[in-house]
């Protein structure tokens, strides 16, 4: 059984950009959502697609099952999304021996920037980059599932401290 262990942070500055890769454009649609589980489809640069099932509501650790699927299947599933289709560009940044994923959101969540780091164990303590803001690990408002299915009142809901553009 695959486990996802991650910490999540708001991003306070664009200092990460100098070390980032070229980024991957993602479209992400939730097909099933429940309090403790979800099934989503993700389209990456319109050339690859994955189906992911996540189970659990722990703050750092959940079961995760992920499978490659045909791009055409993903495109067919996107309009069947519950709520919004999440639009974001994901950048990878290596810092202190860990790979950070910085998600720059577009569409309904334009301006939101979140960084997460996947860990091998909950006790891992990665060095935190200076460009991080508040930790939001376990805060459901910053899960993609929440962002796809709950109304966004304003960008201030996400305590944005800067615009990355």
Task: Name, in order, each residue with C-beta under 8 angstroms of 161's C-beta and a sequence gap of 6 or more.
Answer: 10, 12, 133
Q: Which residues pair with 88 in a beta bridge?
A: 26, 105
Contact 32, 39 (CB under 8 A): yes
- Per-residue burial over 134-149, b if 16 or more Cβ lie within 10 Å, else e, is eebeeeeebbbbebbe
Tell me the DSSP string of 77-109.
HGGG-SSPPEEEEEEEEEETTEEEEEEEE-GGG
Residues annotated as part of the active site? 30
For the chain, the C-alpha Rg in angstroms (whole number) is: 15
As a whole number of angstroms, the longest Cα–Cα distance in the chain is 41
């Amino acid at each position: 059984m695959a486990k996802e262990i991650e910490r999540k942070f708001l991003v306070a500055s664009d200092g990460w950009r100098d070390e980032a890769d070229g980024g991957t454009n993602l479209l992400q649609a939730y097909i099933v959502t429940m309090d403790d589980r979800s099934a989503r489809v993700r389209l990456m640069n319109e050339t690859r697609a994955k189906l992911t099932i996540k189970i659990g509501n722990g703050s750092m650790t959940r079961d995760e099952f992920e499978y490659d699927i045909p791009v055409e299947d993903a495109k067919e599933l996107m309009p069947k999304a519950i709520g919004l289709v999440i639009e974001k560009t994901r950048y990878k940044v290596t810092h202190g021996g860990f790979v950070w994923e910085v998600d720059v959101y577009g569409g309904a969540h334009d301006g939101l920037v979140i960084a997460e780091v996947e860990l091998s164990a909950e006790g891992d303590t990665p060095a935190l980059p200076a460009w991080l803001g508040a930790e939001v690990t376990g805060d459901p408002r910053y899960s993609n599932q929440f962002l796809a299915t709950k109304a966004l009142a304003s960008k201030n809901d996400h305590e944005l401290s800067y615009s990355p553009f």
